[in-house]
Amino acid sequence: MARISGVDLPKKKRIEYGLTYVYGIGLYASRQILDATGIDYNKRVYELSEDDVAAITKEIRANHVVEGDLRKQVAMDIKALMDLGSYRGLRHRRGLPCRGQKTKTNARTRKGKRKTVGAA
């Protein structure tokens, strides 16, 4: 089983899609990494040699921010918005949607369970 950036990739998937299991790598970035390392998209994860895994790991470390570092960066960006007192920061602080969605009837995922007010 290939382990890249602390993530075990699924054995039977093509490496093109297997790499997307790493946080911060989508399909486009996956293809860029495979092009840079010269690995065929159609190769399965279990078919990778140790050299292939090492080349992929080296490419990711050199040119991509993934997993823990990316999560930390996103958290710090959100914290900066909240400290600044921007509108988006206030929405994050209150646990409401911050990308312009309506909240009168939807947004249950962000707002949580319904709180009934004034029901008699």
**CATH code, 23:** 1.10.8.50
Helices within the chain (DSSP H only): 15-18, 27-37, 50-63, 67-84, 87-94, 108-111
Q: What is the pLDDT of residue 41?
A: 93
Average pLDDT, the chain: 93
Residue 120 has pLDDT above 70, yes or no: no
Quick check: is 104 in a domain? Answer: yes
> Which helix H or strand E contains 4, and what residues bound it?
strand 3-4
Q: What is the pLDDT of residue 118?
A: 79
Give the global pTM: 0.80
- Sort 29 into a burial class: Cβ within 10 Å, 0-12 / 13-18 / 19+: middle
pLDDT in tens, 53-97: 999 999 999 999 999 999 999 999 999 999 999 999 999 999 999
Domain check: are 48 and 74 in the same one? no
The domain total for the chain is 2
Domain check: are 75 and 37 in the same one? no
- Is the CB of residue 96 less than 8 Å from the CB of residue 87? no
Phi, psi angles (nearest 5°) of residue 104: -65, -45
Residue 10 lies in domain: 3-64
